[in-house]
């Protein structure tokens, strides 16, 4: 575990505290979580398929919580399209996505937002949080306002995401 992070377990609930925040996760009773000299051990009682699945799931969830409260997570969304804009006032995100009205989206208090608009570049929305699950959920919600379409590639996409493009109509076909 990184310095400054404490993990505690009571009644099948793992709580992780760190410099960025505090997260907790309920764990299935078939999985046991123990803390031994700076390591969190996740063990299972048997080798059944469901218990093996839970073992990997809870190990990954606890790891994500430890990384989140120590380092945090960051996701960047890019707005591709003429006239698409993003701005924020506090934790309220305002999006202009080619609809007749702007979209106002209030973000949870755990998420910090920043918008960048540079000339001749696509606007960016940068979201940061210590909760990976919540961050992914909010990003998916923002992306759902205008998903990237396959013909021109317009819409909201993650930075680095590759959109599969289609060719469109074939000219001169009879």
Is residue 102 over pLDDT 60? yes
Reported as a single tens digit per residue, the pLDDT across 42-86 is 998 889 999 999 999 999 999 999 999 999 999 999 999 898 999
Is residue 130 over pLDDT 60? yes
What whole-number distance in Å separates Cα of residue 60 and Cα of residue 33? 13
What whole-number distance in Å separates Cα of residue 110 and Cα of residue 129? 6
What whole-number distance in Å separates Cα of residue 62 and Cα of residue 17? 12
Q: What is the CA radius of gyration of the chain?
A: 21
Is residue 173 over pLDDT 70? no
Is residue 172 over pLDDT 70? no
Which structural domains are found in the chain, ordered by start? Answer: 6-70 (3.90.930.12), 73-158 (3.90.930.12)
pTM of the model: 0.85
């Amino acid at each position: 575990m990184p310095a400054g992070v404490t993990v505690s377990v009571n009644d099948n609930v793992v709580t992780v505290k760190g410099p960025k925040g505090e997260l907790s996760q309920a764990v299935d009773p078939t999985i046991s979580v123990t803390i031994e000299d700076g390591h969190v051990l996740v063990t299972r009682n048997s080798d059944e398929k469901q218990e093996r699945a839970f073992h990997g799931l809870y190990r990954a969830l606890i790891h994500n919580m430890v990384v989140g409260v120590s380092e945090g997570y960051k996701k960047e969304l890019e707005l591709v399209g003429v006239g698409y804009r993003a701005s924020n006032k506090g934790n309220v995100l305002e999006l202009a996505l080619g609809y007749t009205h702007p979209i106002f989206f209030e973000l949870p208090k755990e998420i910090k937002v920043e918008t960048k608009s540079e000339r001749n570049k696509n606007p960016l929305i940068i979201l940061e949080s210590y909760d990976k699950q919540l961050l992914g959920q909010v990003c998916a919600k923002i992306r759902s306002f205008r998903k990237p379409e396959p013909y021109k590639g317009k819409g909201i996409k993650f930075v680095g995401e590759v959109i599969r493009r289609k060719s469109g109509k074939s000219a001169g076909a009879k």
